[in-house]
Amino acid sequence: MTAAYKTPLEVSSTQPSIAGEINASVIWLHGLGADGHDFEAIVQKMNLPHVRFILPHAPEMAVTRNSGYIMPAWYDLYGVTGSSQEDEAGIKTSQTYINALIQKEIDRGIPANRIVLAGFSQGGAIALYSALRYPIKLAGILALSTYLPIKTKLMAEANPANATTPIFMAHGIYDDVIGLDLCKISLAVLQSNHLAVDWHEYNMAHSVCAEEIVDIRNFLQQILQQDLVE
């Protein structure tokens, strides 16, 4: 399975003098049709000392919603409505890969509770799915412009280890790819399961904005207790 995955990018502080010893990791998953380079510039600008950003690349696959066109995807996509069929097998395959990336960071000396799972759009769906089922407590979850996949199984499959893990969830009010209403259904499911969601809305479409990046940086600084570097 892992042969289909390219080696992830790794990014740390752009200022070597403040990079210091790495003591935390953020695994950040891109959206459908993109790759690990998509958020490279953003994480470089954050200048969080001692943090390693892991930016994996999704494997190439045929995507049903896009007429079978082959593109980087974390799972097959049939639609983005609340009633759309979901590729549970593909989602679980990505979960297995993400778990392996987490284990690699643990093997490098980063405790699980110093590891954040982050993702945008389809990558955010995998971050939510994987983190909430992970058997060891993680530092936090970033769910950007995304939704909760396989909602009906969350209550049965969520691991108590991450029942109190902070979730930063953000969405654009003009998003016409994953509608705000669909995202709020996911939010309601998370909240009904008593999960700690820090909800944000921004005046943007299916994208990331400057205000959001500042909020993400502050969230990461808070949960990782890192000093910000300007």
pLDDT > 80? residue 230? no
Specify the pLDDT at position 226. Answer: 60
pTM for the full model? 0.94
Where b means 16+ CB within 10 Å and e means fewer, 9-42 reads bebbbeeeeebeebbbbbbbbbbbebbbebbbeb
In a domain, 152, yes or no: yes
In a domain, 71, yes or no: yes
Average pLDDT, stretch 94-99? 98
In a domain, 104, yes or no: yes
**Position with higher pLDDT, 44 vs 163:** 163
Specify the pLDDT at position 227. Answer: 52
State the CATH number of the domain containing residue 155.
3.40.50.1820
Average pLDDT, stretch 132-140? 98
Separation CA 46–CA 197 (nearest Å): 22
Mean pLDDT (the chain) is: 92
- Give me the helices (H) in the chain, please: 16-19, 40-46, 88-107, 122-133, 154-157, 180-192, 210-224
Q: Are the beta carbons of 97 and 2 closer than 8 angstroms?
A: yes
Q: Which residues are catalytic?
A: 121, 175, 206
pLDDT digits (tens, 9 = 90+) for 144-153: 999 999 999 9
pLDDT digits (tens, 9 = 90+) for 70-90: 999 999 999 777 677 999 999
pLDDT digits (tens, 9 = 90+) for 176-226: 999 999 999 999 999 999 999 999 999 999 999 999 999 999 999 999 986
Domain count, the chain: 1
Specify the pLDDT at position 224. Answer: 94
Domain that includes residue 141, residue range: 2-224
In a domain, 127, yes or no: yes
In a domain, 230, yes or no: no
Secondary structure (3-state) at 140: strand
